[in-house]
Amino acid sequence: LEAKEEFEHSSLAVDVMRPRRADPALAVLTQESMTVGEVETLVENTHYSGFPVVVSQESQRLVGFVLRRDLLISIDNARKRQEGIVSASQVLFTEHAPAQDPDGPPPIRLRGILDLSPFTVTDHTPMDITVDIFRKLGLRQCLVTHNGRLLGIITKKDILKHMAQIANRDPDSILFN
Ligand code: ADP
């Protein structure tokens, strides 16, 4: 990201984050309520580089962030090497396993591939601050929250697109902003 590019002071994280209003919902994983089959379906049906992990769909409390690549490799390895892993196996990102059905298949434990402190900003964070953080920390993406609930994601490419839009805008509209 170029340091010389300036931002309109009025842009906020909520203006740049995805999903946009008309987009499909943010693709998230839950920390202990999804099966291997469900995770595989979500990953195969989307092209995102990563997925936020939340406590539950209802709470949308952020637990961490997992890269698509790491998820695919770990599930593939577990299916090949770990006894009894099937599509119905639970995927666990938690430290402790919840009570398990003794007759059910063993779970896959994936806490090891979870980034437990992904960078987050709130929806009202000005974009000039967010861009500064991206530059200084060399981020590829950052998550957006409101009152502790996960709202969206901003990638480096989203920022570059937003900058290009501002650069192309009618100069008069910037003047009167
Ligand atoms: P990039 O922006 O580098 O192409 P991605 O492929 O991860 O990176 O993301 C593509 C688009 O989808 C971006 O606009 C990003 O904000 C959005 N996005 C990324 N991850 C998710 C996700 N888990 N759910 C919904 N949208 C996402």
Residue 91 placed within a domain: yes
pLDDT in tens, 98-131: 888 888 999 999 999 999 999 999 999 999 999 9
User: What phi-psi label fits residue 118: left (phi over 0), alpha (psi between -120 and 50 degrees) or beta?
Assistant: beta
Q: Taking all residues of the chain, what is their mean pLDDT, rounded to a whole number?
A: 91
Domain that holds residue 29: 13-175
Residue 7 placed within a domain: no
pLDDT of residue 177: 43
Instruction: Kindly report the CATH number assigned to the domain that includes residue 48.
Output: 3.10.580.20
Positive or negative torsion for Cα 137, 26, 45, 104: positive
Average pLDDT score over residue span 46-60: 97
Q: Specify the residue with its C-alpha closest to ligand 1, atom 26.
A: 26
pLDDT in tens, 131-173: 999 999 999 999 999 999 999 999 999 999 998 888 887 555 5
Q: Specify the residue with its C-alpha closest to ligand 1, atom 20.
A: 48
Q: Which residues line ligand 1 (CB under 6 A)?
A: 18-19, 26-27, 47-49, 51, 153, 155, 157-158
